A and B are shown apart, each in its own frame.
Chain A
Amino acid sequence: MHKFAFLIFAAVLFVLPMHVLGEDDPDPNSPSPLLFGWESVETRARRIREPSVDPARPYARLRLGDLGDADPKAFGVFLFQKSGRTFQLPIENFAPNQKTGIEMTVRIADSTGYYGEPAFDGESLIYVTWRGTMSNVLKIRLGKSGGSIEIPAGLRPAATSPAPEVVGYRWSGDRIRFLEQAAFGPTAQLDNRLRRIGIRTWLAEQFEAPYPTIPYPDIPMMPTTPPSTCMQTTAPACYRERYSMQPLQQWLFKEAYYGDAQLRHRVAWALSQILVTSGVSIRQSSHMIAYHKLLADKAFGNYRDILYNVTLNPTMGDYLDMVRSTKLNPNENYGREILQLFSIGLFMLNQDGTIRRDSSNDPIPTYDQTTVNNFSKVFTGWTFCNTTVCPNATPGIQNFKDPMLLVPDNHDLGVKTLLDYPGATVQIPECADCATPEATSNYAYASLNAAIDNIFNHPNVGPYVGRLMIQQLVTSDPSPAYVERVAGVFNNNGQNVRGDMRAVIRAILLDPEARGDVKTAPRYGKLREPVQLMTNLGRNFPARSWDGESLTDGGLSDPMKKLGQNPFNSPTVFNYYPPDFIVPGTSLNAPEFALLNTSLATNRTNFLYVLIFDGYTPNATDSLRGTSLDLTEAIGAAAADPTGNRLVELLNFRMLHGTMSAEHRSSLLTAILAVPETSPTLRAKQAVYLVAASSQFQIQR
Chain B
Amino acid sequence: MKNNRRTFLKSLGGAVTMSALASEIGYFGSISALAQKGSVKRPAGTPADYRALVLVYLGGGNDGNNMIVPIHDDQSVSNYAAYSAARSPQGLAIPQASFLPVSVPRIGGLLYGLHPNFGPVTGGVNNGICELWAQGRLAAVTNIGTLVAPMTRAQWQSGSVPRPFQLFSHTDQTAQHYTCRSDSVSLTGWGGRVADKMTSSSNPGALVPFVSSFGGNLLFTIGDSTQPLSLSPAPTPLANVLSLTGYNNTPISNARFAALQAALGFDAGQELIAASSGIHNQALAISQALNASPEVTAAFPNTEIGNQLKQAARMIKTRSILNVTRQVFYCRIDGFDTHTGQLLGQAGLFSQLSQAMRAFYEEMVVQGISDKVTQFTMSDFNRTFNPGGSGTNVGSDHAWANHSFVVGGAVAGGNFYGMNTSNGTPFPTLLQNGPDDADSGSNARGRWIPTTSVEQYAATLAKWFGLSTNDLQYVFPNIGNFAVNDLGFMLP
Chain A residues close to B by CB (< 8 Å): 80, 86, 114, 151-156, 225, 321, 332-333, 336, 346, 369, 476, 522-527, 564, 572-574, 578, 580-586, 588, 590, 593-602, 605-606, 609-610, 613, 661, 663-664, 667-668, 670-671, 674-675, 682, 686, 689-690, 693-696, 698-699, 701
B272 touches A580 (CB 8 A): no
Task: List 12 A-B pairs, Cβ < 8 Å.
Answer: A153-B268, A572-B171, A600-B216, A605-B244, A605-B280, A606-B244, A606-B245, A663-B266, A667-B259, A674-B256, A689-B256, A690-B263
For A333, list chain B residues within 8 Å (CB): 166, 169
Q: Tell yes or no: B433 within 8 A of A by CB.
A: no
The residue in chain B whose Cβ has the minimal distance to the Cβ of A584 is: B227
Given contacts A586-B271, A598-B209, A598-B242, 12 further A-B contacts (CB under 8 A): A153-B267, A476-B272, A584-B223, A584-B225, A596-B279, A599-B216, A602-B283, A663-B262, A667-B266, A674-B252, A695-B264, A699-B273
B217 touches A601 (CB 8 A): no
B269 touches A522 (CB 8 A): yes
Q: Tell yes or no: B230 within 8 A of A by CB.
A: yes
A690 touches B260 (CB 8 A): yes
The residue in chain A whose Cβ has the minimal distance to the Cβ of B196 is: A584
A609 touches B267 (CB 8 A): no
Q: For this complex, into which size category does the number of interface residues on chain B fall?
A: 35 or more
A154 touches B244 (CB 8 A): no
Q: Give chain B interface residues in 439-453, CB to chain A under 8 Å.
A: none
A610 touches B269 (CB 8 A): no
In the bound assembly, the distance between CA atoms of A522 and B231 in angstroms comes to 30
For B279, list chain A residues within 8 Å (CB): 593, 596-598, 601
B340, chain A: closest CB distance, angstroms: 8
Quick one: CB contact mask for B277-290 with A, threshold 8 Å, 1 for yes?
10110110011000
In the bound assembly, the distance between CA atoms of A584 and B209 in angstroms comes to 13
B217 touches A597 (CB 8 A): yes
For B264, list chain A residues within 8 Å (CB): 695
In the bound assembly, the distance between CA atoms of A602 and B290 in angstroms comes to 14
In the bound assembly, the distance between CA atoms of A590 and B228 in angstroms comes to 17
Contact of B267 among A583, A671, A696 (CB under 8 A): A696
In the bound assembly, the distance between CA atoms of A601 and B227 in angstroms comes to 13
B187 touches A670 (CB 8 A): no
In the bound assembly, the distance between CA atoms of A603 and B258 in angstroms comes to 19
In the bound assembly, the distance between CA atoms of A465 and B359 in angstroms comes to 50
For A668, list chain B residues within 8 Å (CB): 259, 263
A152 touches B269 (CB 8 A): yes
For B216, list chain A residues within 8 Å (CB): 564, 597, 599-600
A525 touches B272 (CB 8 A): yes
B425, chain A: closest CB distance, angstroms: 31
Q: A664-B266, A690-B259 are in contact. Are A346 and B185 (CB under 8 A)?
A: yes
B255, chain A: closest CB distance, angstroms: 3
Closest A-B pairs by Cβ, 5 of them: A155-B269, A599-B230, A674-B255, A154-B267, A671-B259
For A80, list chain B residues within 8 Å (CB): 269
B263 touches A670 (CB 8 A): no
Q: Give chain B interface residues in 268-306, CB to chain A under 8 Å.
A: 268-277, 279-280, 282-283, 286-287
The residue in chain B whose Cβ has the minimal distance to the Cβ of A562 is: B232
Contact of B275 among A151, A154, A586 (CB under 8 A): A586
B222 touches A584 (CB 8 A): yes
Contact of B272 among A336, A590, A601, A671 (CB under 8 A): A590
Q: Tell yes or no: B165 within 8 A of A by CB.
A: yes
In the bound assembly, the distance between CA atoms of A155 and B266 in angstroms comes to 10
Q: A599-B241, A609-B246, A610-B245 are in contact. Are A694 and B263 (CB under 8 A)?
A: yes
For B252, list chain A residues within 8 Å (CB): 674-675, 682, 686
B318, chain A: closest CB distance, angstroms: 16
A695 touches B277 (CB 8 A): yes
Q: Tell yes or no: B243 within 8 A of A by CB.
A: yes
Contact of A670 among B175, B258, B273 (CB under 8 A): B258
For A594, list chain B residues within 8 Å (CB): 217
A671 touches B256 (CB 8 A): yes
In the bound assembly, the distance between CA atoms of A596 and B273 in angstroms comes to 12
Q: Tell yes or no: B226 within 8 A of A by CB.
A: yes
Quick one: CB contact mask for B226-242 with A, threshold 8 Å, 1 for yes?
11111110000000011
For A584, list chain B residues within 8 Å (CB): 222-227
Q: Give chain B interface residues in 382-422, CB to chain A under 8 Å.
A: none
Q: A153-B268, A155-B269, A695-B264 are in contact. Are A602 and B242 (CB under 8 A)?
A: yes
For A523, list chain B residues within 8 Å (CB): 271-272
Q: Tell yes or no: B13 within 8 A of A by CB.
A: no
A280, chain B: closest CB distance, angstroms: 9
A593 touches B275 (CB 8 A): yes
Contact of A609 among B166, B169, B244 (CB under 8 A): B244
Q: Tell yes or no: B251 within 8 A of A by CB.
A: yes
B244 touches A695 (CB 8 A): no
B317, chain A: closest CB distance, angstroms: 20
In the bound assembly, the distance between CA atoms of A699 and B273 in angstroms comes to 6
A560, chain B: closest CB distance, angstroms: 13
B61, chain A: closest CB distance, angstroms: 13
In the bound assembly, the distance between CA atoms of A168 and B401 in angstroms comes to 67
In the bound assembly, the distance between CA atoms of A597 and B256 in angstroms comes to 22
Most chain B CB inside 10 Å of its own CB: which residue of A332, A598, A675: A598
The residue in chain A whose Cβ has the minimal distance to the Cβ of B174 is: A572
In the bound assembly, the distance between CA atoms of A583 and B187 in angstroms comes to 11
For B245, list chain A residues within 8 Å (CB): 605-606, 609-610
For A596, list chain B residues within 8 Å (CB): 276, 279
Contact of A151 among B227, B269, B283 (CB under 8 A): B269
